[in-house]
Amino acid sequence: MSEPLSDQQIKTIQHYDAQQRYTYLIKEVVKNREIWLLVDEHGCVMLNTEEEDCVPVWPNQAFAQAWATEEWSHCTAKSISLEKWHNRWTAGLESDELAIVVFPDQNCEGLIFFPDEFDFELQQQAKKSPHKKHH
């Protein structure tokens, strides 16, 4: 579980550009071993661009829940373990021909990745991260 962020940290991170939010998300997801979505009774929230249908992902509950307003006020933030993401979600999103929008800001702006690219980026970050030693 991740440490809760202070209001000041949240404000600072919300002002990051798309590349900074992407970098933050990759590091946080690998460190905390979970990724966050917004879900309702029909599944996860989708954003649509001209080219792609996208599943938005967030680095932690606070940022995901901040999106649960207006048309999505009935949605709740849900964490997916990194293991389940690698084992199920990547292939599932690919077979549904969905892309991922990484940590979108309040203007729905964020970097878009295909599921296999995003999975690769997570795995690359995991290789860089110090592994916890088990005794």
| Tens of pLDDT, residue by residue, the chain (135 residues) | 557 788 899 889 989 999 999 999 999 999 999 999 999 999 999 998 888 899 999 999 999 999 988 888 999 999 999 999 999 999 999 999 999 999 998 888 899 999 999 999 999 999 987 755 444
pLDDT score for 134: 43
Alpha-carbon separation of residue 80 from 1, 49, 86 (angstroms)? 12, 24, 10
What number does CATH give the domain 17-127?
A: 3.40.1350.90
Domain chopping of the chain, boundaries? 17-127
Tell me, what amino acid is at 112?
A: I
Give the per-residue pLDDT at 133: 45
Q: What pLDDT shows up at residue 131?
A: 59
User: d(Cα 40, Cα 119) in Å, to the nearest integer?
Assistant: 24
Q: What pLDDT score was predicted for residue 2?
A: 58
